[in-house]
A = this chain, B = another copy of it.
Amino acid sequence: MSTNTYTVTGMTCGHCVASVTEELGEIGGVTDVAVDLPTGAVTVTSDRPVDDAKIRAAVEEAGYQLAG
């Protein structure tokens, strides 16, 4: 089990949260995605380590950016 928290910028509403959650949820091994809209904190739980590049790609596919 692996849990990592990222900061995503550009999310403004519940639809944004849904888009990011959906894209991250499609990554192999991801079992849970939790988004805190006000802060942009996105916590990804997976049953195996997930490469940061995959996280970044999914966030960008949804139309947002990883901070840092």
Count chain A residues whose beta carbon lies closer than 8 angstroms to a beta carbon of B. 8
Stretch of A9-17, A25-33, A40-48, A51-59 with 4 or more beta carbons under 8 angstroms from chain B: A9-17
- Cβ of A19 under 8 Å from chain B: yes
Q: Within the oligomer, what is the number of copies of this chain? A: 2
Chain B residues with CB below 8 A from A15, complex form: 13, 15-16, 18-19
- Complex: chain B residue closest to A13, CB-CB: B12
Query: How near does chain B come to A19, taking the closest CB pair, in angstroms?
Result: 7
Chain A contacts to B: CB under 8 angstroms: 12-16, 18-19, 63
Q: Which 7 A/B pairs are nearest by Cβ-Cβ distance?
A: A15-B15, A12-B12, A12-B13, A13-B13, A13-B16, A15-B16, A13-B15
